[in-house]
Chains A and B, each alone.
Chain A
């Protein structure tokens, strides 16, 4: 079986059944979401850009926003045979600038923190919670998700690749 390598671009969702390697580069305040149902081998990866869609504007790409991207990711995986309750998730990204002037860090300007909360909230609405996360701080990140092994790794421009989670290990063991 050939393993397909897919780069997940801004506001994109990719799903697969079987094998595949998803790479989500250039995560600043955006969130990379990796998901798998280890029983049916259905997996997906999304790059979420902003927390909420705009009420007065049609959504052209659901993965732009957490409130539309997470339902779309789950829906696409379910259509390939995934069982919602079995889906294991890891998220990374949500960085923010170092300091917000005189403003507080929880302000509207902090896209990264708001993205983390919005993605987590959207997952919770499906009864899901990230098994592992690497969020916040001021580093850009790249995540790689190997479907066959379930391993999610994270690297920054100044750090080597480190393991974040094994999404096939339902005990939650992150030793990969």
Chain B
């Protein structure tokens, strides 16, 4: 294996790259404004009919326990709240391509989705506990943290076993092997895509440094929440592929987030409780 592909090559050669609808990005930006209203959020969402219908279908899932069918976007924002609709918009914008199998990482159908959703729930929980950053930003960062794998998947296809062997032989984490071979890893590719999508800088940083949060300069609470959330989700076995748990964990995130590291079991328990509450929503999406 030789590092002949540049990061731009990887992105350019991948014809099946994920795309996040402009309407979803507009909703994310709108909900960050203090002037946003149910009407303004609904207006952005309604620019994309496919996205709107997916959001409404999720809003009507058993998870939200609506007493009647909601068919109006503005009404869904009023009933669920702006932040929930924002999160649903990001979910609806990503789950179709996250459900695909990825042979390059030996990920079965829905595995990428289950893992990403797990990290989003865990990162949101950690952000709430630590009061270190906006929990919804942590949620979005968690959902998108591995998007670079979609592009790297094509390159890794049929090379996974060799990469794992190299990791074991040289005692390297999976992302370290990616960097050793190519000069960049799936996190860097994901950050590159996020920049192309013009996502907020805080999300780009969280995606880029989710495996090495100590290297972010300055360090970022959202990145720390995603790193810890990723650790918990891997530990609980959600959506593991061929790269398994071959990643480093940086315990420094506990100090920066102001969380006692001895509370890790309790946080894991709370994470699992939170995750299980979404069962009906997850079923709705994986059945789509």
Seen from chain A, the residues whose Cβ lies within 8 Å of a Cβ on chain B are 10-11, 25-30, 49-52, 54, 57, 64, 93, 95-103, 107-109, 111-112, 138-140, 156-158
Query: Residues of A contacting B231 with CB < 8 Å?
Result: 97, 109
Q: Is B160's beta carbon under 8 Å from chain A?
A: yes
| Complex Cα–Cα for A108 and B264 (A) | 8
Query: Residues of A contacting B6 with CB < 8 Å?
Result: none
The residue that B251 contacts in the complex, of A30, A101, A138, with Cβ under 8 A, is A101
Chain B: minimal CB distance from A162 (Å): 16
In the bound complex, do residue B235 and residue A139 qualify as a contact, i.e. CB atoms below 8 Å apart? no
Q: Is B109's beta carbon under 8 Å from chain A?
A: no
Q: Is B269's beta carbon under 8 Å from chain A?
A: yes
Interface of A is mostly: loop
In the bound complex, do residue A157 and residue B237 qualify as a contact, i.e. CB atoms below 8 Å apart? no
| Complex Cα–Cα for A140 and B59 (A) | 33
| Complex Cα–Cα for A2 and B241 (A) | 33
Q: Is B247's beta carbon under 8 Å from chain A?
A: yes
In the bound complex, do residue A49 and residue B244 qualify as a contact, i.e. CB atoms below 8 Å apart? no
For the complex of A and B, list the 8 residue pairs with the smallest distance between their C-beta atoms, beginning with the closest: A140-B240, A28-B237, A26-B237, A157-B106, A29-B235, A138-B245, A158-B242, A139-B244
In the bound complex, do residue B268 and residue A49 qualify as a contact, i.e. CB atoms below 8 Å apart? yes
In the bound complex, do residue A54 and residue B266 qualify as a contact, i.e. CB atoms below 8 Å apart? yes
The residue that A98 contacts in the complex, of B106, B245, B252, B262, with Cβ under 8 A, is B245
Task: Name 11 A/B residue pairs within 8 A (Cβ), A-sorted.
Answer: A28-B238, A54-B265, A54-B266, A95-B245, A99-B173, A100-B251, A107-B261, A157-B108, A158-B161, A158-B164, A158-B242
Known pairs A49-B269, A97-B231, A156-B242 / 5 extra A-B pairs, C-beta < 8 Å: A28-B234, A54-B269, A57-B269, A97-B235, A140-B240
In the bound complex, do residue B265 and residue A157 qualify as a contact, i.e. CB atoms below 8 Å apart? no
Query: Chain B residue with minimal CB distance to A101?
Result: B250
Contacts A49-B268, A50-B265, A111-B268: A101 and B240 contacting too (C-beta < 8 A)?
no
| Complex Cα–Cα for A97 and B237 (A) | 11
In the bound complex, do residue B240 and residue A98 qualify as a contact, i.e. CB atoms below 8 Å apart? no
Q: Is B272's beta carbon under 8 Å from chain A?
A: yes
Query: Residues of B contacting A25 with CB < 8 Å?
Result: 237
In the bound complex, do residue A101 and residue B237 qualify as a contact, i.e. CB atoms below 8 Å apart? no
The residue that A28 contacts in the complex, of B235, B251, B276, with Cβ under 8 A, is B235
Chain A: minimal CB distance from B131 (Å): 22
Question: For this complex, into which size category does the number of interface residues on chain B fall?
Answer: 35 or more
| Complex Cα–Cα for A148 and B269 (A) | 34
| Complex Cα–Cα for A157 and B164 (A) | 11
Q: Is B248's beta carbon under 8 Å from chain A?
A: yes
Seen from chain B, the residues whose Cβ lies within 8 Å of a Cβ on chain A are 106-108, 160-161, 164, 167, 173-174, 214, 231, 234-242, 244-252, 261-262, 264-266, 268-269, 272, 276
The residue that A97 contacts in the complex, of B106, B234, B239, with Cβ under 8 A, is B234
In the bound complex, do residue A30 and residue B261 qualify as a contact, i.e. CB atoms below 8 Å apart? no
Chain A: minimal CB distance from B152 (Å): 16
In the bound complex, do residue A108 and residue B236 qualify as a contact, i.e. CB atoms below 8 Å apart? no
In the bound complex, do residue B249 and residue A99 qualify as a contact, i.e. CB atoms below 8 Å apart? yes
In the bound complex, do residue B246 and residue A138 qualify as a contact, i.e. CB atoms below 8 Å apart? yes
Chain A CB within 10 A, most for which of B161, B247, B264: B264
| Complex Cα–Cα for A138 and B245 (A) | 5
In the bound complex, do residue A97 and residue B245 qualify as a contact, i.e. CB atoms below 8 Å apart? yes
In the bound complex, do residue A140 and residue B269 qualify as a contact, i.e. CB atoms below 8 Å apart? no
Query: Residues of B contacting A57 with CB < 8 Å?
Result: 269
| Complex Cα–Cα for A31 and B107 (A) | 21
| Complex Cα–Cα for A102 and B160 (A) | 28
In the bound complex, do residue B265 and residue A52 qualify as a contact, i.e. CB atoms below 8 Å apart? yes
Query: Residues of B contacting A98 with CB < 8 Å?
Result: 167, 173-174, 245-248
Chain B: minimal CB distance from A99 (Å): 5
In the bound complex, do residue A64 and residue B269 qualify as a contact, i.e. CB atoms below 8 Å apart? yes
Query: Chain B residue with minimal CB distance to A102?
Result: B251
Query: Residues of B contacting A139 with CB < 8 Å?
Result: 240, 244-245
